Amino acid sequence: MSDDRKRTIEKRPWSITRRAVLASGSAVGALAAFGLKTPAMAQETTPAAPAAFLPRVLVSFAVNGVTQDIDLDPRTSLLDALRETIGLTGTKKGCDHGQCGACTVHVDGRRVASCLTLAAQVADREITTIEGLGDDEALHPMQQAFIDHDALQCGYCTPGQIMAAVACVHEGHAGSEAEIREYMSGNICRCGAYPGIVAAIRNAAQVMEG
């Protein structure tokens, strides 16, 4: 299983990290190198100034099929952009350190911790959040399975659990209860709904895989 994890990391299609941007001294330089649109005024800043004026960046990405063109502080996490700028508050902040999984969303179909992902990193990518997973007509099979197996209590970690669970099935990691437990262990549920979550994923996997 650890081998699988390693491969997953190597296959990640981008390499810039939040840390790299924050540590670069000039956020503009890092973002420019990454091919992002930066406003013209950014070139006029002085990177060496201690309390330097921070530029804004224009970033465009799709969230649940809707293109979002947003102007933001380059340090903004994808999580904060979703919640505070775009207004999609289904994605939750539980730790802001990538340790709890409450903020899990899909970027081009892959599960990521949106708190550890800069919004500027996802330019031109497709984001799916819990709000985009099912609609008023029909729930996603995973959402229905979470209801059927009461795989939640307070509900705060639930959006992240469900996004991780859908990805877990797509990754092919829902083959057994033990495998599900292992691959869902990045998502903490403090209410302790784990047995229900495992049962829900077993059930939804059958529906999803037809």
Partner 1 sequence: MPTGPYAEIPRVDAYEKVRGRAIYGTDNNPSGVAYGAFVTATIGRGRITAMDLSEAQSIDGVRLIVNHEHTSDLQPARFIMQHGFAFQSYSPVLTPNVAYRGQPVALVVADTLESAIEAASRIRVSYEEHPFAATLDSERAEPVPQAEAATAWPIDDIVVGDAETVYADAAVKVDATYTMPTQHQNPMELIGTVAAWDGDHLTVYEGTQNAGACKFGLAEQLGIPPENVTVISPYTGGGFGQKNTMQSQQVLTAFAARELGRPVKVVVPRRQTFHDSSFRPATRQRVRLAADSAGRFTAALYDVDAQTSMHDFFQSEHADTAARHYGYGAFRSFTRLVRTDTPTPGYMRAPFEHATAFAIESAVDELAYEHGMDPVQIRLLNDTDTDIVDGLPHSSRHVSECLRRGAELFGWDRRTPEPRSMVAQNGDLIGMGVAIGLYAGSGGPNRASVRATRDGIIEISLGVHEMGQGIRTAIANVVARHLNVAPESVTAILGDTRGVPQMLTAGSWGSASSIPAAEAVCEALREALDALGTNAPEGASPAEILALADHDELSVEAATFAPGQNRDALGEIDTGHVAPSGPVYPDFITYSYAAHFVEVRVEQTTRRIRVPRVVSVFDCGRVLSPRTARSQAIGGVVWGVGGALREAGEVDPRYGGVLNADMAEYLVPVNADIGSIEVGFIDEPDPMVNRSGVKGLGEVVLVGVAPAITNAIYHATGVRARHLPVRIEDLV
- State the nearest-atom distance from the C-beta of 50 to partner 1, in Å: 7
Contact present, 195 and 184 (Cβ < 8 Å): no
Q: Among residues 55, 166, 49, which one has the least CA distance to residue 111?
A: 166
- State the nearest-atom distance from the C-beta of 13 to partner 1, in Å: 25
Chain positions contacting partner 1, by CB under 8 A: 50-51, 53-54, 73, 75-76, 80, 83-84, 87-97, 99-100, 102, 129-131, 133-134, 139, 143-144, 146-148, 150, 152-159, 162, 180-182, 184-198
Closer Cβ to partner 1, 32 or 188, answer by number: 188
- State the nearest-atom distance from the C-beta of 52 to partner 1, in Å: 9
In the chain, alpha helices (H) = 2-10, 18-23, 27-33, 78-80, 141-148, 158-170, 177-183, 194-208
Closer Cβ to partner 1, 13 or 66, answer by number: 66
Contact present, 157 and 164 (Cβ < 8 Å): no
Contact present, 186 and 164 (Cβ < 8 Å): yes
Closer Cβ to partner 1, 11 or 137, answer by number: 137
Q: How far apart are CA 182 and CA 1, in angstroms?
A: 9
Closer Cβ to partner 1, 29 or 186, answer by number: 186
- State the nearest-atom distance from the C-beta of 194 to partner 1, in Å: 4
